C-alpha cells in the first residue's frame, strides 16, 4: 500500500507551493483537474505541466466531461498514470490506446453513488480503478463509508484498486483491512506537520518505510 497526496486548485501560486511541499516527502503526486462541468469546481488545466519538476511522477485525475481533449495535450514524461471517470460519455478504448502510446497507465475512477452493475465490464478495461471516498470536485469533504461497499466487486475484476478522498487520522481506521494499492490524501495534508501526519497514517496502515 502506498500513500500519495493530491493537489486540487485553480490558483497557480497555491499549486506551486503545494508541489514544492509535497516534493520533499513524495515521489508521486496526484493532480486533480476539474472542468467546472463534470464537477462544479474549476481548477488549473494542462498548463500545470509547465511547472512540474522533472523528478516528480504525476497521476493525472481528470474530473472532466471530455477527457480526450486533455489527454491529447499530454506532453511531459512526468505523467505516469491518467484517471478518467467511468461516468462520462467517452470512448475508453481509444483513450487507453492513446495513453499506451504515451507510456501512461490508464485508470478509471468510480464515484460514491455510481451503480457498479452498469459499469463492471467497463472498469475491467482499465489498468487500475480509483474508488472515490467523496464526491469529486472539492477537497475537505467527509468520507462516505458506504462507498466501501463497492470494494469487493472492484477487487473481483483483478485490477488494483486505489482510494481517493476523505482520508484523515479518524477515517484511516475504516480502510486498514482493505487491500488498496494506493491511498490518495488531499486536504488532510494541506496544513499542520506534514511529516507527522504522513507517519501517523503509515503506522495506522502498517506501512513500513
The number of residues in the chain equals: 209
Q: Indicate which residue of 35, 91, 164, 193 is catalytic.
A: 164
Residue 164 is a catalytic residue: yes
State the Cα–Cα distance between residues 84 and 74, nearest whole angstrom: 14
Hey, CA dihedral for 69, 72, 76, 77, is it positive or negative? positive
State the Cα–Cα distance between residues 204 and 188, nearest whole angstrom: 15
Residue 32 is a catalytic residue: yes
Q: Count of CB atoms within 10 A of residue 98's CB? A: 17
Q: Count of CB atoms within 10 A of residue 169's CB? A: 11
Q: Indicate which residue of 32, 50, 179, 193 is catalytic.
A: 32
Query: CA 97, 103, 107, 108: dihedral to nearest 10 degrees?
Result: -30
Strand partners, 130: 109, 162
- Cα 63 to chain center, whole Å? 10
- Cα 171 to chain center, whole Å? 17
| Residues known to be catalytic | 32, 164
Amino acid at each position: 500500500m502506498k500513500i500519495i497526496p493530491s493537489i486540487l486548485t485553480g490558483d497557480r501560486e497555491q499549486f506551486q507551493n503545494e508541489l514544492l511541499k509535497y516534493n520533499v516527502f513524495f515521489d508521486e503526486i496526484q493532480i486533480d483537474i476539474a472542468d467546472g462541468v463534470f464537477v462544479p469546481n474549476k481548477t488549473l488545466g494542462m498548463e500545470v505541466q509547465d511547472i512540474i519538476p522533472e523528478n516528480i511522477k504525476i497521476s493525472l485525475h481528470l474530473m472532466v466531461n471530455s477527457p480526450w481533449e486533455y489527454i491529447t495535450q499530454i506532453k511531459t514524461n512526468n505523467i505516469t498514470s491518467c484517471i478518467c471517470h467511468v461516468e462520462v460519455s467517452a470512448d475508453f478504448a481509444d483513450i487507453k490506446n492513446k495513453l499506451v502510446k504515451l507510456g501512461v497507465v490508464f485508470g478509471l475512477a468510480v464515484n460514491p453513488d455510481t451503480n457498479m452493475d452498469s459499469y463492471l465490464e467497463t472498469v475491467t478495461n482499465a489498468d487500475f480503478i480509483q474508488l472515490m471516498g467523496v464526491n469529486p470536485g472539492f477537497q475537505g469533504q467527509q468520507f462516505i463509508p458506504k462507498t466501501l461497499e463497492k470494494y469487493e466487486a472492484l477487487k473481483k475484476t483483478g485490477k488494483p484498486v486505489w482510494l481517493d478522498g476523505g482520508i484523515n487520522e479518524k477515517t484511516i481506521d475504516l480502510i486498514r483491512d482493505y487491500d488498496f494499492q494506493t491511498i490518495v490524501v488531499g486536504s488532510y495534508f494541506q496544513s499542520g506537520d506534514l511529516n507527522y501526519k504522513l507517519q501517523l497514517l503509515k503506522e495506522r496502515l502498517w506501512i513500513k518505510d
